[in-house]
A = this chain, B = another copy of it.
């Protein structure tokens, strides 16, 4: 009988191994895709693309046992050669080739030059050819950063005794919904795709006190703007036993501090490649919704049209104000009007026209919505009734309040938006692997 007992040492090497080891003058074996070939006649430079970066390989006529004409861009190959220090090469070394083995060949020539440093093409073309254009080193670096954000979010919350949960995405219709939901037939029952894990994460606060989830959410909004997606990743947390809703903002601030430190330490190569300097989140200013409107109205000579609503242009100006006055890319806007928040938001005891809630703006764009939730059964029932909602429709959610819930609150962060602002991109599709919008269902 044969047994499998774990990962065997590979004979091929990674870039990091070579950089951190003593390989100059030694023969190594490496695998990768042919990113580009620069044929100079007797010498050719073959740039190998690996997950961690690019490697310069030197092909010398007569010294390398291979017919160079067989090599194409995007051939997957295995090479053997001598490591040699070379300052002008990526990572400071090159491989002087002895052998090349082709592992796989493309059938056609690339429709777009992905080996260009920066892809100079329309967003439309880039997204249409996404499976290929993501191979461009600048493009893929964005989603490494995105990975880092999610890792940091999880690792930080884990250190704060949050438990990770997974909640269903197919839910009974009419829960929180309204018209902006994707409907589906579920074995002859009316179902929809979850717009948010809100009810479930609150439920799980009754179980684990502090919980988080990173998962897709779905919104059937017909907006086709630079900041809306119809499927996106929501990073949610919810925490019990809070004394005030400020604790939620404190947790988010500490989380962002942790995330940016992690990016600094482990994603420095990608940050450098994309020329990103991380924002300072030592202190994030907080301002009341009504106060923010006033400040912006005064400074930028803008009339307040509706005291209970915040227009996108106002968000931008609030962002600008706090950048100019306090040097901060972030600002917490608190105490949103009750009308603008869902029924489960806790009203401010000092003035029930407002809620104990907040948005976090990053360079003038809302990337987080959060706040304290109602935890008392009678209070939530009354609030639902005052809005003409029927508590029976969501009795399995209301069960948690009926049988007791601690004071709690939480937030949801749009991962793609946060990435977009961090990378100074102007369209959220740039920071979404395979975006779903009103016109886009493929690839």
Contacts and interface: CB of A to CB of B under 8 A. Distances in A.
Contacts of A443: 203, 396-397, 399
B404 A3 contact: no
A158 B183 CA distance: 36
Given A76-B241, A434-B168, A206 B135 contact: yes
A207 B233 CA distance: 20
A377 interface: yes
A50 to B, nearest CB: 7
A429 interface: no
A70 B14 CA distance: 65
A250 interface: yes
Copies in the complex: 2
Interface string A237-256: 00011000011011101100
Contact of A165 (B286, B403, B433): B433
Contacts of A52: 161
Contacts of A233: 166
Contacts of A215: 215-216
Nearest to A401: B107
A253 B4 contact: yes
A5 interface: yes
A332 to B, nearest CB: 6
B103 A283 contact: no
Contacts of A249: 4
Interface of A: 1-8, 12, 14, 31, 33, 50-52, 72-76, 78, 103-108, 110-111, 129, 131-132, 134-135, 140, 143-144, 146-147, 150-151, 158, 160-161, 163-172, 182-187, 189, 191, 193, 200, 203-204, 206-210, 215-216, 218, 220, 222, 230-231, 233, 240-241, 246-247, 249-251, 253-254, 257, 282-287, 326, 332, 375-378, 396-397, 399-407, 415, 433-436, 438-439, 441-443
Given A4-B250, A107-B403, 13 more contacts: A1-B287, A3-B285, A4-B249, A5-B283, A33-B406, A51-B163, A104-B405, A129-B399, A132-B403, A135-B206, A168-B435, A169-B216, A171-B442
